[in-house]
Chains A and B, each alone.
Chain A
Amino acid sequence: MRNHKTLCVLAVLAIALLAGCAAPAAETAQTLPENTPAATSEPPSVSETVTITDMAGREVTVPVNVDHVFGANTNSTVMLYTLTPEKMIAWNIKPDKAAMAYMDPGIAGLPVLGSLYGSGKESNIEEVLTYPLDLVVLCDPKANQRVMDAADGIEERLGIPAVVVKADMGNYDEAYAFLGPILGAEDEAAALGAYCRDTVAYAKEKNAILRDEDRVRVYYARMDDGLTTEFTGSPNGRVLDLCGGINVAEGEVSSAEVTLEQVVAWNPATIIIGHIGAERVAAYDAITGGGLWDEIDAVKEGAVYSVPRLPFNWFDRPPSVNRIIGVKWLGNLLYPGVYDCDMIAEVKAFFSLFYHYDLSDEEAAALLDS
């Protein structure tokens, strides 16, 4: 009897082991041949390489012709999407349905491989290697030791060169200028970089002429209840800083929950709502749905706005070039007398240049309707 029991246990173990072996093998066999040119018998082309210094000072040997590129995180992938979408091999996270409407279906439908750096689902190295890949791009605002280590680790595990791109609000022109020649898209990179530089310069110019008493006090509401915000210590408030708004949440922490009483005490003149997916509706309803929120000037005056989020959030996440159009949007919203942008035209121009999508006037108006 006892023996029998033990036998059962071991049998279960053995079955689990076999199942563990068999299932992945079977799946691999089914799915791989279709979408893996890497695994087919294409003769390995002896491609030329060139050694460059990346923006973190690392020496990297990259192919002269890069045809297949993967962004290590969403930040990088947005930059790649603006520059050479046709060379992307995959997304880090699946673009949501609403965003796909503004994308080429072929690119919107690229595989989803997770991230090699930072938050989100971690890539499965072997899965990444089943796709043809020449280069990994890792964009980060800091390009510090951790980022450099991560890039080294990616090279070691994938055997594919990885370049670090230091990319933040103030230097997108440099980031594009670095990426352009590597990806064989110098002209596009120059145009994109110039647009970013001009936008930031424009915002700084407007910021300089704002009088302190005209500056708008803004509360940035996140999450369903609108009670999570980004404090002044957060890098997510760059757009607000650049536009010359005052973040009411002063403090060195970054993202944190606050109480409604605290928001009432801050009494912001404008509330902007950041959102992912359906969060928007919930937070908007919470804020405009009465109660203590009604004590706040922004709610009394109806100055509650949702941040446009398509195809990528205009205000923060991911903190990439998607924020550039947000600068004009927010500047125009807060200081209509100072900013003189025709937002419909601006949005159309931005989408055409960055997202390779020609918006109709109606679509642009719909995106802006917040």
Chain B
Amino acid sequence: MDRGVRDNRWVLPALFVLLLAAAVSSLFIGRYPVSVPEALGALLGGRRAGTDETVCRIMGASRLPRVAAALLAGSALSAAGASYQGIFKNPMVSPSLLGVSAGAGLGAAVGIVAGFGGVGVQGMAFGGGLLAVALVYGGSRMVSSKNDMTLSLVLTGVVVGSLFSSLIALLKYLGDAYDDLPAITFWLMGSLAGITLRDAAITAVPVIAGIIGLCLVKWRMNIMTFSEEEALAMGVDTRRMRGFVILCATVITASVVSVCGTIGWIGLIVPHMARMLVGSDFWRSLPASIVLGALLMLLIDDVSRGLFATAVPLGILTSIIGTPFFFYLLMKGKRSW
């Protein structure tokens, strides 16, 4: 199934180098004219080095946090998507499968209508995301008698997700039209614009922990792609394993969504791109997804920051930029699904 994968060993390091280069060059992209020496001065010496104050502000309050956030969001969503696609044995699955985005959206909407400030809304969104997945997980355990929860999880996820989406719609309907409604709509569209370094730092902790967690079980995830019986026969406790992967994926997705809003598409498509590049062995497809997701998110955010005088919601750009690229890969790859 993975003919020629050995020839592709260099892909992952190459992607990683590309990501590093992209991350560094992204710091020099933006609407405000900042020369390379100025940018370096601001990054290395700060205001003490005599760099213009506005330049310091732009580097510290705009570019650095956004580059960090794009890296985090892209890698988190792709890691979660790749893991879900693996354990649910379904290529159509995205990180929002178990309702985490809808839950986070509802939490944020409640926070917005209740008049909470930024941190309150983020906290509510994070809590809402965890709550939704807990409901889905608990619910599916109640309805599935056998050990194989895959189908019941997916179904409960769909049900809880649409219930939460309806509740968001209800809140939008009840919320006041000038204040709450646009705030909720905008939140749901996803944006990295308001992000601060502190936000990025706080998000980094759960995201990195979750990604490490997922990477630690890469080998078992490979086994999970076989049938339930085979996996059990090979000594993998599929239920605990599934629970652990869902926990990690939920924590990282909820952290990202609570700070950046819902950013679609990345978690669904990037794992496919990664598999096309390095094959479906989790040993390499998971790290490749993480690096590729970060890279793609970074590029999309660069376009958003650099090309337009007013910010374009990321969700729009992710699909407009990503879809043709994905089609290109499909045509090149011509592999069977």
Contact = CB atoms under 8 A, between A and B. Distances in A.
B183 A118 contact: yes
A124 B310 contact: yes
A119 interface: yes
A125 B310 CA distance: 9
A43 interface: no
A125 B193 contact: yes
Interface stretch (A15-23, A200-208, A329-337): A15-23
Among B8, B174, B177, B183, the one with the most A-chain Cβ atoms within 10 Å of its Cβ is: B177
B179 A38 contact: no
Contacts, number: 182
Nearest to A257: B173
B117 A146 contact: yes
A234 B328 contact: no
A146 B332 contact: no
Contact of B117 (A8, A145, A252): A145
Given A124-B305, A126-B305, A153-B194, A235 B176 contact: yes
B185 A119 contact: yes
Contacts of A153: 118, 194, 196
Contacts of B32: 28, 126-127, 129-130
B219 interface: no
A20 B29 contact: yes
Contacts of B305: 24, 124, 126
B181 interface: yes
Given A8-B332, A129-B58, A236-B178, A146 B307 contact: no
A230 B176 CA distance: 10
A29 B33 CA distance: 7
Interface stretch (B18-26, B95-103, B157-165, B247-255): B18-26
A24 B31 contact: yes
Contact of A126 (B7, B22, B58, B276): B58
- Secondary structure call for the A interface: helix
Contact of B62 (A13, A126, A146): A126
Counting chain A residues whose Cβ lies within 8 A of the other chain, the interface size class is: 35 or more
Contacts of A38: 54
Interface stretch (B141-149, B206-214, B229-237, B295-303): B295-303
A10 B276 CA distance: 11
Interface string B167-186: 00000011111110111011
A13 B295 contact: yes
Contacts of B178: 118, 141, 235-236, 254, 319
B233 to A, nearest CB: 33
A12 B328 CA distance: 10
B268 interface: no
Contacts of B182: 118-120
A17 B303 CA distance: 10
Contacts of A23: 303, 306-307
Contacts of B191: 122
Contact of B18 (A13, A120, A256): A13
Interface residues of B, number: 64
A28 B302 CA distance: 13
Interface string A23-59: 1110111001000101100000000000000000000
B337 interface: no
A114 to B, nearest CB: 3
B311 A122 contact: yes
B53 A159 contact: yes
A114 B309 CA distance: 8
A146 B115 contact: yes
A253 B313 CA distance: 27
A145 B31 contact: no
B11 interface: yes
A300 interface: no
Contact of B311 (A24, A123, A149, A230): A123
- Secondary structure call for the B interface: helix
Contacts of B302: 20-21, 24
B14 interface: yes
B30 interface: yes
B333 interface: yes
A12 B21 CA distance: 15
B61 A156 contact: yes
Contact of A253 (B53, B116, B174, B193): B174
A167 to B, nearest CB: 12
A255 B191 CA distance: 25
B277 interface: yes
Nearest to A142: B179
Given A10-B11, A142-B179, A252 B3 contact: no
Contacts of B329: 9
A67 B18 CA distance: 45
Interface string B1-41: 00110011001001100100110011011111100000000
A2 B181 contact: no
Given A10-B18, A118-B183, A16 B325 contact: yes
Contacts of B179: 118, 140, 142, 146
A121 B117 CA distance: 21
B239 interface: no
5 contacts: A6-B277, A10-B14, A24-B29, A129-B57, A157-B62
Please give me the 5 A-B residue pairs with the lowest Cβ-Cβ distance, nearest first: A24-B306, A119-B182, A114-B310, A149-B117, A2-B4
Interface of A: 2-3, 5-6, 8-10, 12-14, 16-17, 20-21, 23-25, 27-29, 32, 36, 38-39, 111-114, 118-127, 129-130, 140-142, 144-146, 148-149, 153, 156-159, 230, 233-236, 252-256, 319
Interface of B: 3-4, 7-8, 11, 14-15, 18, 21-22, 25-26, 28-33, 53-54, 57-58, 61-62, 112, 115-118, 173-179, 181-183, 185-186, 191, 193-194, 196, 276-277, 295, 299, 302-303, 305-311, 313, 325, 328-329, 332-333
